[in-house]
Amino acid sequence: MSETDEYVLTRARVLLPDGRLEPGSVHVRAGVIAGVLAAHGAGRDVQRIDLDGRIVAPGLIDTHVHGGLGFNVMSADGDVVRAIGRRLRAAGVTSFVATTASVPFEQILRSVRGLAALTGPTEADGADLLGIHLEGPFLSPDFRGVHRRENLIEPEPARIAELLAAAGGALRICTVAPELPHAESAVRTLTEAGVRVSVGHTAATFEQARAAVGWGARRATHLFNAMPSIHHRNPGPVPALLADEAVYLEIVADGLHVAPELIGALAAMPGVRDRLMLVSDGTDVSGLPDGEHRRWDGTEVQVSGGRAFTRAGGIAGSTSTLIDGVRVLLTAGVPLEIALTAAARNPARSLGLADRGAVAVGHRADLIVVDDDATIAHTIMHGQWERP
């Protein structure tokens, strides 16, 4: 099918923007959703596709992707980005944000310029690149994870200006540790430029994290990971980020980064559920076999049982996909509609995207068709079909 084709998905269960699953149909015309629950306006000669009770949900949106299949987005190579996009689409992801690491600043600028030039719709067989998530170099040395200490710097105004100029509007997200010098100025400047600032890789206190939200921060980078644990007399940043309804919360739901039981508890909280966002944090080694591998930034990692670790035994990012995260939530007792919303609707809202992330009239026909166990039967992007 091409995006100019018109068809109706019938006998489906449709995940609506309010999180309900309702029986009905979805009418697609010229790559856009033309009708939901009833095929109003579809002529009798329009093709009808019987889904036999399967679920139609928005295409998944991954706002934290470093790479995959041995490739890293920071190469800013069009072939590499397309290869990563094809792998993501095969796993139900129709849009993604390319995420950087902490390397020398001039190298970051080169990557940002290159990725900015690649931002936008990709070829029909790959997920769309929405822009750039700068994860590093404005991070705490004490909570840097696998980011190299020697590449961490303070978010000085001149550095922020250079990054914004290099990105040319393609910088979507920037992770900042709010306790660093110049952090307030950086958060305010980035926010004014339309960038979503994310609190992460931080040693911040409760008060410092709350202050960052007051400056304009609206996200948390992989909540619980690379930040102090909660203590009842020294709560740290996590409770401050959980408590503020303006903050969207990244969760790496691979069964390793955060206990599934904890994610299940968060998903059961109405005030938190609508802000919970699944991210893959997928790295270069995603999709590679078990064994020793070297990442693009030079980090040596060991993939064992499909999980990536540093030589010292620390977690080295994730090898999972968003749909894997949806399945992890199912094992924790989270209803499928909530898990899918956390992988599509909530990420779209976190970035202010008004044309995707929901099965709604006028939205792009970026959709997935899934079974009750979150097995993907079809990925539809720009109205086009692809079988995994």
**pLDDT (tens place) for every residue of the chain, 388 residues total:** 455 488 999 999 999 999 999 999 999 999 999 999 875 556 678 889 999 999 999 999 999 999 998 899 999 999 999 999 999 999 999 999 999 999 999 999 999 999 999 998 866 578 999 999 999 899 999 999 888 999 999 999 999 999 999 999 999 999 999 999 999 999 999 999 999 999 999 999 999 999 999 999 999 999 999 999 999 999 999 999 999 999 999 999 998 899 999 999 999 999 999 999 999 998 888 888 888 888 777 778 888 877 888 777 777 777 889 999 999 999 999 999 999 999 999 999 999 999 999 999 999 999 999 999 999 999 999 998 755 5
Q: Is residue 225 part of an annotated ligand binding site?
A: yes
Cα–Cα distance for residue pair 182/137, rounded to 1 Å:
13
**Which of these, 57, 75, 140, lies nearest to 111 by C-alpha position?**
75
**Which of these, 68, 96, 72, 97, lies nearest to 167 by C-alpha position?**
97
Catalytic positions: 281
Number of residues written out for the chain: 388
What amino acid is encoded at 386 in this protein?
Answer: E
Q: Is residue 133 part of an annotated ligand binding site?
A: no
CATH number for 6-57+360-386 (one of 3.40.50.740, 3.30.470.20, 2.160.10.10, 2.30.40.10): it is 2.30.40.10
List the beta bridge partners of residue 238: none
- Where along the chain do the CATH 2.30.40.10 domains lie? 6-57+360-386
pLDDT at position 59: 97
Q: Is residue 317 part of an annotated ligand binding site?
A: yes
Cα–Cα distance for residue pair 65/315, rounded to 1 Å:
16
Cα–Cα distance for residue pair 104/84, rounded to 1 Å:
24
- Where along the chain do the CATH 3.20.20.140 domains lie? 60-350
Cα–Cα distance for residue pair 360/347, rounded to 1 Å:
16
Q: Is residue 382 part of an annotated ligand binding site?
A: no
SS (H, E, C) 63-127: EEECEECCEEHHHCCHHHHHHHHHHHHHCCEEEEEEECCCCCHHHHHHHHHHHHHHCECCCCCCC
pLDDT at position 74: 95
Instruction: Say which CATH superfamily domain 60-350 falls into.
Output: Metal-dependent hydrolases (3.20.20.140)
Phi/psi at 135 (5° precision): -105, 95
